[in-house]
Structure 1
Amino acid sequence: MRELPLVLLSPGFGKTRSSLTGLAEDLASRGYVVAAISHTHENVATVFPGGRTATCTACRVEPHDQAFWDKVGAIRAADVSFVLDRLTGPRPMWKKGSRLIDPARIAMAGHSVGGASSVAALLKDPRIKAGMNIDGLAVVPVPTSGLGKPFLFLGSQATRTPGGQEAASWETAWRHLTGWKRWLVVVGAEHASFTDISLLGEQAGMDTGAKLSAARSMEITRAYVAAFLDLHLRGTPQPLLDRASARFPEVKICAVEQKSCA
């Protein structure tokens, strides 16, 4: 019986899928099948079953201009479609587990350029029903013709508040998102706060620049990612996405046109 929704996770540029392990484990505990992708030649190292290791070729490419990010988005979208083919196609690699996946309930979430690339994947693959950009510049543009699938922006208040210079790419994308959409910022978070890098760094005594503890930022990330997925893949109403929460006062819902968050 195909009853479990599938979530695809895409990490930041140069990062492996392990940077999203905490989020993946939480989603799995909530009844989602989770596929985290290490994009070959675009992360520190990808080790294949036969022992071959592919390093980060893309890390040595300059400049990181729009043409570069367009290519990254296209390659990541192709990676995502390939993974979907292997999980839900007629000859799946995961033979027992694939029978549990509901191919009508698939979403993608990513951190940094992984979040930006979710736009490319949503445009390319009709199987993906909803997407999320977690604190990534919107370097993969939303076409002026629009994107009608549900989309969530979740980022740090310092850099992603509407009206700020670093939020400009989100504002451009926002104008062309024609379906359900939300823009949320987290007070005290910084770029790594939404990943395991923050947790491990804090444990190692590293200062990531965040004012919010790593454990708290992970709790917030898990709660809001799950709320978005529960709403759009399970049809469960989520007040958490519609109004300020006493449980998570650090999270502000933004009124983009008014350039304010509360």
Structure 2
Amino acid sequence: MTASTSASTSAPPAPVLSYSPVVLSVPGRPVDLQLRVSAPATGTGLPVILLSHGHGGSHNLSSLNGYAPIAHLWAAAGFVVIQPTHLSSRTLSDRLAGAPGAPFFWRSRAEDMSRILDRLDEIEKTVPGLAGRVDHGRIAVAGHSLGGHTAALLLGARITDPDTGQEVNLIEPRVKAGVLLAAPGRGGDVLNGWMAGKVPFFHTTDFSTMTTPALVVAGDKDDSRHFTDVGPDWHADPYRLAPAPKSLLTLFGAEHLLGGVSGYDAAETTDENPGRVAALGRLTSAYLRTRFQPGDDAWQAACETLTTGTSPAGRVASK
């Protein structure tokens, strides 16, 4: 086990422990499910964030080895962060190129998260120093980009399986809150970019059934022309088209990597900004803390600090 530290914008660095891989053998899955678990070095009653990686262009960031910037911030804020390597990971693309569901494995990605929750006791006992410290009743899901689509399905969004024509409901009732980071928006005619035909499961996304509370995070410079010509506003659809309670955090100046949530010094991080990621870490942590502890003012305080004044990180809307 290795120790590292992670800073927030308002407190000294807190020690974080990271352990990988935790290996779960899953019948019928073409490869074992491998996880990274990050947690604060101290504390008990720790809530859990299941973090779903995106697809991306880099090889290793779409796996348990990516997303260190945001995972460390969340762990330092008091969460146990569990990161699976989904079958869609580019680290597995050569081995699984011809497997059913390739290359995106949209259904398997969501099923990975439910499997993790099924075996949370086992995971907790496997990670040295973690046993007895996890609150199994406070579970959140977060996802970036394609991972945001995965998280939306677990929060209640539905799609029509393009292979069978059947509506798919993968809501996970054990998940009590969510954070969608640069998630894809609505489908239909607005999906007119060159990638639209490669993601038929995007076309029927229905956010009207996404009933679990969630914070949607969108960059105001995140123009995903390969999917749609709607512009950055497309990534706010999970907020606008889903029922309350939902909040929308629009980050100023942010492109698709929101300052570098999946990794710094990577070609795909076109807007590298550690300060933006630190603000995002604080705001998302505060949102989940207040969701899990009604009456806690962490979310209000973070919004007042980071979305007001002369240099706000972004703006917040809620319903």
For 1:38 and 1:247, the matched residues in 2 are separated by 40
Please give the alpha-carbon distance, in whole angstroms, between the structure 2 residues aligned to 1:207 and 1:84: 31
CA gap of 1:232–1:58, structure 2 versus 1, over 3 A, is: farther
Q: Give the 3-state SS of the residue equivalent to 2:254 in structure 1.
A: coil
The residue aligned with 2:316 is 253
Letter in 2 for 1:24: A
TM-score by length of 1: 0.73
Matches within 5 A, 1:194-205: 194-197=259-262, 199-201=264-266
**Equivalent residue, structure 2, for 1:26:** 73
Structure 1 residue 111 corresponds to structure 2 residue 144 = yes
Q: CA deviation at 1:93?
A: 3.8
- Count matched residues: 229
Partner of 1:127: 174
Question: 1:6 and 1:13, CA in 2 relative to 1: closer, same or farther beyond 3 A?
Answer: same
Q: Check 1:241–1:118 CA distance in 2 against 1; reply closer, same or farther (3 A cut).
A: farther
Name the % identity: 22
Change in Cα spacing, 1:172 to 1:214, as seen in structure 2 (3 Å) is closer
Shift, 1:234, TM fit: 2.9
Distance 1:142 1:153, change over 3 A: same
SS at match of 1:76: helix
**Counterpart-to-counterpart distance in 1, 2:276 and 2:314:** 10
C-alpha distance after superposition, 1:24-57 (max 9, x if no partner): 11211122111012112x1122xxxxxxxx4356
**Aligned match of 2:45:** 3
Residue aligning to 2:258: 193
Give the conservation status (yes or no) of the 8 Å contact 2:219–2:255: yes
CA distance in 1, matches of 2:94, 2:288: 31
Contact 1:26 1:222 in 2 (8 A): yes
Measured after TM superposition, the shift of residue 167 of structure 1 is 4.8
Give the 3 Å change call, closer, same or farther, for CA 18–93 of structure 1 in structure 2: closer
TM-score (norm 2): 0.61
Residue 184 (str. 1) matches residue 231 (str. 2): no
Aligned twin of 2:63: 16
Q: Contact 2:70–2:262 (CA<8 Å) still a contact in 1?
A: no
**1:142 aligns to 2:206 (yes or no):** yes
Q: Tell me: higher relative CO, structure 1 or 2? Use CA pairs within 8 A at least 6 residues apart.
A: 1
| Structure having the larger proportion of residues in helix | 1
Structure 2 counterpart of 1:36, one-letter code: Q
| Partner of residue 108, structure 2 | 75
Match 2:124 to one of 94, 100, 105? 94
Q: Output the aligned Cα RMSD.
A: 3.4
1:186-213 Cα distance to aligned partner (Å, 9 max, x none): 1222112343555223xxxx69542xx5
CA contact (8 A) 1:76 1:121 kept: no
**TM-aligned CA distance change 1:188 to 1:173, over 3 Å:** closer
Task: Give distance in 2, aligned partners of 1:132 and 1:207.
Answer: 21
Gaps in structure 1 of 5+ consecutive residues: 46-53, 62-66, 257-262
Query: Aligned-pair distance for 1:241?
Result: 4.4
Q: Indicate conservation of the 8 Å contact 2:222/2:254, yes or no.
A: no
